[in-house]
Each structure stands twice: as structure tokens, then as C-alpha cells.
Amino acid sequence: MFGHTDPFEILEPGAVEPAPRTCDVMVKRVSAAKRVGVMARQDKADWITEMRRIRDHADEDAFVTLFDHFAPRVKAFLMRSGADAAMAEECAQEVMVTVWRKAAAFDPSRASVATWIFTIARNKKIDALRKQRRPEPEDLPWGPEAEPDQAEVVELQQESAHLGQAIADLPEKQRDLIEKAFYGELSHSEIAAETGLPLGTIKSRIRLALDRLRHAMERKQ
């Protein structure tokens, strides 16, 4: 389960990326799901605005906007992860209440709103479904800044959008495997074994995100 793959063997900056397979490039299905994806990306900047309005003005309208978009997604994520409908509903509500209470801890130069909500939902899943504590890393010496560097925010949000698009563009079978890993249905080695593909597009996007985060951390130390 925890094979000796070096994360940076693949993620090392400058590593040669495998040439994209024809199917990655050619398959461009314009599906309904994808159109929804495009709308979601256009909204992304606004999620940050909603977060600021919650943090700075305890703005309930902003909360309702986030709730209507994310609560049904968190509920679907938790049900796919093994929760029944009632538990998923209750947990999704608690996740959104946590979004409100921890709004000041959200740092848009390090995560998109969707990514941040994912981490809260994941922790809730471990707590409620697996009845375990979730050890979290020590906070960085610099906490979220009141107004993080705008260029860093834009860069991170664009990177997240590109990553989302790269996942949307994957052939369905590969995309399924990535999603299964997040629902606890497959380990990374199993993904590699099952596809025999290096999932190059995703790896290169993750690598870019990784480089960006690493540089952001270096600048702040």
C-alpha cells in the first residue's frame, strides 16, 4: 500500500513529462457536466468574495450563496464515501457551519474555496464515519494574512482552475480512478496498476501547484 515511490521522482521540477497520449488530446466531449464546470470556474473568484464578506461582515447572504452551492456537493461526496443520506446531510450542514466559523483561517493564496471546503469535509468524514481523530500539521509560523498578495491569489486560483480542467479533460476511466482514490476506494499504487498510465496531465498540474506553493512558502520565510 505504501510502495517506495518517491513523490518527487514524478513531481521534481523539470522532470520530463510523458508525451500526452492521443486520447488525452483528442477526446473533447462537450458534456453537460463540462458546461457546469465552466460556470463553476467563472464563479470561483466570487467564492473568495463570499468568504471575505463572511470574515469581515458576518454576511449571511454570502453564507447562503456558499451553502446552496457547496452543501449539496459535500453531501454527495460524503454519501459516495459511505455515509447514509441522514448522516451526510447532518455532516454537510456541520461542514458549512465550520466554513462560517473558520472563515478567518481561509487563505486564498494557498487554496481555492472548493479545496478548503474539501479539507473540512474530509476531516468531518474521518471524524463521523471512521470515528478517528485527524492529526493536522503544525500551523506555519505565518498565519493567513489579512490581505495576501493579490498576484499569489490570482496565480493559485488559476492553477486550481487548470487542475480542475485537466481532470475534466481526462478520459472517463482515468477520471474515475482519481475520484475513487478520494472516496477511499483505491490507493495510488492500485491506480497505477489498474491504468498502467502515469496520468501525466494530472501529475504535471499537481507539480505546477506544488512549485507554486513551495515558492510561496519560501517567500514568506
Partner 1 sequence: MTTIRHHLTEDLILGYAAGTLPEAVNLAVATHVSLCDECRAAVEAHEAVGGSVIERCGTEDMSAGARESALAAIRGPAPEVPAAPTPDAVLPAPLLSYVGKGLSDVKWRSVGMGVKQAILPTSSEATARLLYIPAGVAMPDHSHNGIELTLVLKGAFEDEDGRFARGDIEIADDAVQHTPVADISEDCICLAVTDAPLRFKRLLPRLAQPFLKI
* Of the candidate residues 48, 87, 114, 128, the single one contacting partner 1 (CB under 8 A): 114
Q: By CB under 8 A, tell whether 84 contacts partner 1.
A: no
Please name the amino acid found at residue 52. R
Q: By CB under 8 A, tell whether 5 contacts partner 1.
A: yes
Cβ atoms < 10 Å from Cβ of 25: 11
Do 109 and 149 touch, CB atoms closer than 8 A? yes
26: which residues sit within 8 A by CB, 6+ positions away? none
Residue 22 or 75 having the CB closest to partner 1: 75
Backbone angles phi, psi at 7, to 5 degrees: -60, -30
Which of positions 181-200 make contact with partner 1 (CB under 8 A)?
A: 181-182, 184, 187-189
* Of the candidate residues 40, 45, 87, 128, the single one contacting partner 1 (CB under 8 A): 40
Q: By CB under 8 A, tell whether 48 contacts partner 1.
A: no
Q: By CB under 8 A, tell whether 45 contacts partner 1.
A: no
Least Å distance, CB 20 to partner 1, is: 18
Residue 8 or 23 having the CB closest to partner 1: 8
Least Å distance, CB 147 to partner 1, is: 20
196: which residues sit within 8 A by CB, 6+ positions away? none
Least Å distance, CB 114 to partner 1, is: 4
Which of positions 164-183 make contact with partner 1 (CB under 8 A)?
A: 164, 167-168, 178-179, 181-182
From 20-28, 117-125, 146-154, give the range in contact with partner 1 by CB under 8 A: 117-125
Least Å distance, CB 14 to partner 1, is: 15
Do 24 and 169 touch, CB atoms closer than 8 A? yes
Alpha-carbon distance 41 to 103, whole Å?
21
Q: What is the DSSP string of 163-210?
A: HHHHHHHS-HHHHHHHHHHHTTS--HHHHHHHH-S--HHHHHHHHHHH
